[in-house]
Amino acid sequence: MSADLRQPGQRDGALAHFVDLVKGVVPPMHPAGRPFVLGAAVGTLLLRRLSRRAGLLGALLTAWCAWFFREPKRVTPERADIAVAPADGTVSQVVEAEPPAELGLPAGRMLRISVFLSIFDVHVQRTPAAGQVERVRYRPGKFLSADLDKASEDNERNALLLRTTEGHELVVVQIAGLIARRIVCEVAEGDTVSAGQTYGLIRFGSRVDLYVPLGSRVLVEPGQRTIGGETVLAELAGSTVSTED
């Protein structure tokens, strides 16, 4: 057998490069998924004692859990007066609507952009702009299918009021769905956040509503796919930014 004639530094560099390649292909996992993956892994070991086939099914379930709770890195546009998608998914609706009453905002309608997440989408939520979290309100509710219009009003939800660094008020609402029964929110009132920052997660199919000021220019349409933290959903009212080249 031939010896590896590379210097230690060269071998370490090659290993680091390989690790970087793996990280680029296999996204990291959100911490909320660790108990599920650990439980599935333990179950796999127990099933493996019964039969190889059962162990294989357990291994596949473990891999699926790790994949479901993935948190891929995203490159967020560095532009002022924009709102990026708070989640991966499909735009299901763009309408005028009142923001959640529990936030205690003055009466008035905003533009609501709804993004539906299937069980195959990335399920972490990201802040649509840089700014400060002014209010966080959780409200229990029903567990209707998240793609229904009335899910925004009737389902369990967690609403967040964000004042951007440019002074715009945005509202982001995590909505539980038919299967999703657990909303995780990792920010609190007074927190400063950056655009595209992961701030929460909804387990197993859900919906996220983004409310932007009336007069904002919405750049997406129903049926369009979004990438959380990257897709620009709207140019906010009063923006001087132009999308023309």
pLDDT in tens, the chain (245 residues): 455 555 655 556 666 665 555 555 566 766 777 777 778 788 888 888 888 888 888 888 887 777 777 778 999 999 999 999 999 999 999 999 999 999 999 999 999 999 999 888 888 999 999 999 999 999 987 666 555 566 667 788 999 999 999 999 999 999 986 665 678 899 999 999 999 999 998 876 688 999 999 999 999 999 999 999 999 999 998 644 444 44
Q: Top-level CATH class of 82-235?
A: mainly beta
Alpha-carbon distance 159 to 208, whole Å?
A: 10
- Tell me how many degrees the CA angle 187-191-197 measures, rounded to the nearest 5: 60
Residue with tokens 């029964």: 181
The residue type at 166: E
Cβ pair 74, 226 in contact under 8 A: no
Q: Which residue has the tokens 């008035």?
A: 108
State how far the Cα of 195 lies from the Cα of 53, in Å rounded to an integer. Answer: 45
Angle (CA) 165 174 41, round 5°:
115
* C-alpha span between 41 and 29 (Å, rounded): 15
Q: At what angle do helices 52-68 and 34-50 cross, to 10 degrees?
A: 170
Catalytic residue among 206, 216, 239, 242: 206
For residues 138 and 221, is the Cβ–Cβ distance under 8 A?
no
Where along the chain do the CATH 2.70.70.10 domains lie? 82-235
Report if pTM > 0.75.
Answer: yes
Residue 206 catalytic? yes
- In angstroms, the CA 66 to CA 58 distance is 12
